[in-house]
Amino acid sequence: MSGRPGRRVFWAACLLLCLAGFLVSLLSGPVRTTPGDLVRFIKSPDPVRAAIFLDLRLSRAVLAFLVGAALALSGAILQGYFRNPMADPFVVGVSSGASLGAVVATALGFEAAAFGFSGPGLLAFVSGLGIVSLVYGLSMRRGGLKVETILLTGIAAGALASALTSFLLFMRSDSYDQAVFWLLGSFQLAEWGQAATIAPWVALCLVASVWLARDMDLLALGDETAQALGSPVRRVRKAFLAMSALLAALSVAVSGIIGFVGLVVPHWVRILIGPAHRPLFAASALAGGTFLLYCDLLARNILPAELPIGVITAAVGAPFFLYLLYKKR
């Protein structure tokens, strides 16, 4: 740990990058816009610029930030929960369950939209949470809750859901284009309704996890020790698992499966500011949001056609991750 000044530099840099990211997001896109255009728009708004700046670019940037924050926070929680650095938001089966839901919805032509979610998004959310509950229920049976059992059940249930997804894609090859959108993630359909739906939950989970962070620190000493030190281990574990699943399912529902953010961002943050969970949770959310904001900028600006954002998160995240690991050693 580099102590307080290092932490302060980290926060300042993150905030600055984040603000810059929002500004660049507002100004870049297929329609050429200059900072002058933005200033002119703020002085005298017109419907076309309002749609481009606010409805398309800003809503998209805000949603990307929220999803990035949600995924990184979810990953940070689960890495602490499982005391395992390989854990990510999708380890308990949320991603496979959610993609199954989305693909089923597309195959059935389920279009009913609600709460700013599209039909597939809604079904993805429900089935993502459904599979986590199933995993949790199955793990409970065997005399109390064992962390390893959740992990393994999650992997097995996820594999089953993936098999069903592949089968459906094979049977309905015409929904392939739609499926890629869910399986690799995109913010192409971002709108304010989605941001408004997930923002309160992301904020609530962030506050709650920061509040419970001390208990997460104690869990690192082992469940018995934590219990002995006065932490209500079972309740804390339940709360953290529920929050991480909710965050992951919300993210998938609005933007499809975006890998790597939840795995890598908490690691970066831990390397930079240390393992204490209170700052780790807050900083992961900020860094994750900022990271995804920049990834989305790349996804929509590198090529004339939009790239799936999952391609960018992995391509950008992996080398940087390796570099940090190497430097630390």
Cα 106–chain centre separation: 22
Nearest to 292 by CA among 66, 81, 136, 2: 66
208 binds another protein (CB under 8 A): no
The CB-of-146 to another protein minimum distance in angstroms stands at 41
Q: How far apart are CA 276 and CA 214, in angstroms?
A: 8
Site for another protein in 39-58 (CB under 8 A): 47-48, 51-52, 55-57
The CB-of-305 to another protein minimum distance in angstroms stands at 4
131 binds another protein (CB under 8 A): no
- Cα-based distances in Å from 259 to 206, 221, 292: 20, 29, 11
Q: Are 257 and 124 in contact (CB under 8 A)?
A: no
Residue with tokens 């896109």: 29
114: β partners: 117
118 binds another protein (CB under 8 A): yes
The CB-of-20 to another protein minimum distance in angstroms stands at 21
Q: Which residue lies nearer to another protein by CB, 191 or 217?
A: 191
Which residues does 177 contact at the CB level (< 8 Å), separation at least 6? none
Site for another protein in 253-272 (CB under 8 A): none
| Contact letters for another protein, residues 164-203 (x by CB under 8 A) | -------------xx--x------xx-x------------
The CB-of-161 to another protein minimum distance in angstroms stands at 22
**Residues near another protein (CB under 8 A), total:** 20
Q: Residue 128 corresponds to which tokens in the numbers above?
A: 């993502």
Q: Residue 266 corresponds to which tokens in the numbers above?
A: 């908490």
Q: Which residue lies nearer to another protein by CB, 57 or 277?
A: 57
Q: What is the dihedral of CA 61, 66, 67, 73, to 10 degrees?
A: 140
Site for another protein in 68-107 (CB under 8 A): none
Nearest to 61 by CA among 322, 289, 327: 289
Q: Are 125 and 251 in contact (CB under 8 A)?
A: no
Among 200-208, 265-273, 289-297, 300-308, the segment contacting another protein (CB under 8 A): 300-308
Q: Which residue lies nearer to another protein by CB, 15 or 48?
A: 48
The CB-of-44 to another protein minimum distance in angstroms stands at 16
Q: Residue 80 corresponds to which tokens in the numbers above?
A: 């602490």
Residues that bind another protein (CB under 8 A): 29-31, 47-48, 51-52, 55-57, 118, 177-178, 181, 188-189, 191, 304-306
